[in-house]
């Protein structure tokens, strides 16, 4: 399978601020590659460097097997992109916008083909309506149609669902899946909506403070055999000591891990016993949780809550500094 994007030690500094710091990653043909990170992590800066909208301080970018610095024009002719909200002409119709952007990019696409593009994004019945009458979701879909107008090999979407209502989000999700599964397109998608990315992406990269935290296949990173379980008991310190002396000792995780929502509060008497010790984090196969619960009962551990967490949001919060901001509101 061909490598569509290869980024090596990419760095971008704005004065003393290092927005992207020696970032390396690769995107394979057919990927829906999720680009994740909190605000300020460097996602948009990276995507802008891939499109030559921002020039890197150092590092190397190869797209479609070519070096971007020396083959910029040839590469960008094969790349479609929507960066945040698409820039459209509000008093032109959807069809007129599509035709205009086609000509600006050097193409001469027939009306029939333009209508097929609008049908692909669900706008064929609004083709002749002025864009200022479109909803935000419709404008976003038209922006994607513009990005697709020259049948690109790579599509880059920066926050394509930003500001959309649930129906608009669902529309974009279905469109991305259609482009990937039915049109065999390769997509790089940046988003804050982690639940959406868990549905559409097959590979992902998580950034934090300009650096790569983790990269890999979604299925491997969210392996159910590595489910994090948070145990809150009437005496967490005592429970931890008992677990350390049991067959569950290998499952114990570092004490700094915390659930990203508040655990069930113990009663006053239990709280006096529990002290300030937080919930105990363990990692185990999801299928082992019932057996673990039985073991807790047999050891006489008073269970207040047993909370398995295994979603992209949980994984993201465990890896990034987002957890630092969430924790004060959940404990």
CATH number at residue 149: 3.40.50.300
Tell me the C-alpha distance between 183 and 148, whole Å: 11
Residues 247 and 195 in one domain: no
Q: Which residue has the higher pLDDT, 270 or 139?
A: 139
Question: Are 173 and 242 in the same domain?
Answer: no
Q: Per the domain annotation, does 326 fall within a domain?
A: no
| Other C-beta atoms lying within 10 Å of the C-beta of residue 297 | 10
Tell which residue, 213, 206, 159, has the closest CA to residue 44.
Answer: 159
Q: What pLDDT, on the 0 to 100 scale, is given for residue 270?
A: 42
Does residue 228 surpass a pLDDT of 70?
Answer: yes
DSSP structure class, residue 252: B
Is the confidence at residue 258, as pLDDT, over 60?
Answer: no
Q: How far is CA 151 from CA 77, 121, 188, 228, 315, in A?
A: 9, 14, 16, 42, 35
Q: Is the pLDDT of residue 276 over 50?
A: no
Which DSSP letter does residue 320 get?
Answer: S
Q: Collapse the DSSP code of 270 into the 3-class scheme (helix H, G, I; strand E, B; otherwise coil) and give the result.
A: helix
pTM of the shown model: 0.74
Residues 134 and 154 occupy one common structural domain: yes
CATH of the domain at 275: 3.30.70
Q: How confident is the model at residue 277 (pLDDT cuts 50, 70, 90)?
A: low
185 and 39 fall within a common domain? yes
pLDDT of res. 272: 37
In 69-226, beta strands by DSSP E? 79-83, 154-158, 186-190, 203-208, 211-217
Task: Quote the strand ranges of the chain, DSSP E.
Answer: 3-14, 17-28, 32-36, 58-63, 66-67, 79-83, 154-158, 186-190, 203-208, 211-217, 227-233, 280-284, 303-309
Considering the domain architecture, whether residues 141 and 274 belong to the same structural domain is answered as no
Report the SS3 class of residue 298: helix
184 and 143 part of one domain:
yes
As a whole number of angstroms, the distance between CA 144 and CA 133 comes to 18
How high is the pLDDT of residue 261? 44
Helices 136-148, 166-181: crossing angle, 10 deg rounding: 20
Whether the pLDDT of residue 329 is over 50: the answer is: no
Domain ranges, residue 197: 3-221
> Does a structural domain hold residue 322?
no
* Gap between the Cα atoms of 191 and 197, Å rounded: 7
For the chain, the domain total comes to 2
Residue 301 and residue 169 share a domain: no
């Amino acid at each position: 399978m061909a490598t569509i994007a290869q980024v090596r030690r990419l760095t971008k500094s704005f004065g003393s601020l290092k927005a992207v710091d020696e970032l390396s990653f690769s995107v394979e043909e057919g990927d829906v590659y999720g680009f994740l990170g909190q605000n300020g992590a460097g996602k948009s800066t990276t995507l802008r460097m891939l499109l030559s909208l921002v020039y890197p301080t150092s590092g190397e970018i190869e797209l479609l097997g070519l070096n971007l610095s020396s083959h910029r024009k040839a590469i960008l002719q094969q790349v479609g992109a929507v960066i945040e909200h698409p820039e459209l002409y509000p008093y032109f119709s959807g069809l007129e916008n599509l035709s205009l952007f086609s000509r600006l990019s050097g193409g001469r696409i027939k009306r029939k083909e333009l209508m097929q593009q609008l049908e692909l994004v669900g706008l064929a019945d609004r083709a002749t309506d002025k864009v200022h009458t479109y909803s935000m979701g419709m404008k976003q879909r038209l922006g994607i149609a513009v990005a697709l107008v020259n049948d690109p090999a790579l599509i880059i979407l920066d926050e394509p669902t930003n500001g959309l209502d649930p129906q608009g989000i669902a529309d974009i999700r279905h469109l991305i899946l259609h482009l990937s599964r039915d049109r065999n397109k390769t997509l790089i998608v940046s988003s804050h909506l982690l639940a959406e990315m868990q549905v559409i992406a097959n590979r992902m990269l998580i950034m934090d403070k300009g650096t790569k935290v983790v990269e890999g296949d979604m299925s491997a990173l969210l392996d159910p055999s590595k489910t994090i379980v948070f145990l809150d008991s009437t005496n967490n310190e005592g429970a931890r000591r008992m677990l350390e002396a049991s067959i569950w000792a290998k499952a114990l995780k570092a004490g700094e891990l915390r659930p990203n929502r508040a655990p069930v509060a113990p009663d006053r008497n239990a709280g006096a016993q529990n002290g300030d010790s937080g919930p105990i984090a363990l990692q185990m196969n999801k299928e082992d949780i019932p057996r673990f619960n039985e073991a807790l009962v047999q050891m006489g551990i008073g269970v207040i809550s047993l909370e398995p967490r295994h979603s992209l949001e949980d994984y993201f919060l465990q890896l990034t500094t987002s957890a630092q901001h969430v924790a004060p509101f959940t404990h």
